[in-house]
């Protein structure tokens, strides 16, 4: 069984999430997929080429890895996503948490630490009705309201 490796990135300056086309580990760069062309001011100040795709250094980004799993609606689940899911005997208790990686697996951190953290594995995703409802960068209020 093969696993798909994909990334997206949070651009700290632009405060946007982009899909990654390519990662250049040797030079510490990523190439955005479908990124906006930099403004004239950005190009003048930083000598950024006005071409598509857009290149960015690692230190300006937070890389977010695809878990290899999809939620109940078929949406890909990435690190930094906020998910809603059911727990309990009848899955009647709804929790919200954020996805992160802790060796050797992806996990979900609930703000209140409900019985610790949850393992995000393929055997639990269909069972717990996981649903991506946002991410920690663009929707931090979702985690705050879950406390």
What would the pLDDT profile of 7-47 be if each residue is shown by its tens digit? 999 989 888 888 888 899 998 989 876 655 556 666 566 65
Tell me: pLDDT of 134 over 90.
yes
Does residue 125 belong to any structural domain of this protein? yes
Per the structure, how many domains does the chain have? 2
Q: What is the mean pLDDT of residues 134-146?
A: 88
Range of the structural domain that residue 16 is part of: 7-62
Residue 42 included in any domain: yes
Q: Are residues 139 and 75 in the same domain?
A: yes
Q: Is residue 1 in some structural domain?
A: no
User: Is 26 within the bounds of a domain?
Assistant: yes
Residue 74 is predicted with a pLDDT of 93
For residue 135, give the CATH number of its domain.
Answer: 2.30.30.290
Tell me whether residue 2 is in a domain. Answer: no
Which pTM does this prediction carry? 0.78
**Residue 139 and residue 81 share a domain:** yes
Q: Are residues 37 and 75 in the same domain?
A: no
Residues 55 and 83 in one domain: no
Find the range with the poorest average confidence among 44-53, 92-101, 120-129, 131-140: 44-53
- Burial state string for 35-57 with b = 16 or more CB within 10 A and e = fewer than 16: beebeeeeeeeeeeeeeebbbbe
Same domain, 105 and 123: yes
Indicate if 133 and 75 belong to the same structural domain: yes
According to the model, what pLDDT value does residue 135 have?
A: 95
52 compared with 137, residue with greater pLDDT = 137
pLDDT at res. 5: 87
Last residue of a domain, one of 62, 79, 103: 62
Residue 94 shares a structural domain with residue 33: no
For position 123, what pLDDT does the model report? 67
Residue range 61-104, pLDDT digits in tens: 999 999 988 888 999 999 999 998 887 666 677 788 899 888 88
């Amino acid at each position: 069984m093969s696993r798909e490796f994909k990334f997206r990135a949070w651009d700290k300056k632009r405060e946007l999430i982009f899909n990654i086309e390519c990662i250049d580990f040797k030079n510490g760069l990523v190439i955005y997929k479908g990124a906006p062309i930099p403004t004239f001011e950005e190009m003048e100040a930083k000598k950024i080429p006005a071409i598509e795709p857009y290149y960015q250094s690692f230190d300006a980004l937070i890389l977010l890895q695809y878990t290899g799993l999809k939620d109940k609606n078929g949406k890909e689940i990435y690190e930094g996503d906020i998910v809603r899911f059911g727990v309990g005997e009848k899955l009647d208790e709804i929790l919200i948490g954020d996805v992160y990686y802790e060796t050797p697996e992806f996990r979900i951190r609930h703000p209140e630490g409900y019985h610790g953290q949850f393992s995000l594995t393929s055997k639990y995703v269909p069972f717990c009705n996981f649903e991506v409802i946002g991410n920690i960068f663009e929707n931090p209020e979702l985690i705050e309201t879950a406390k």
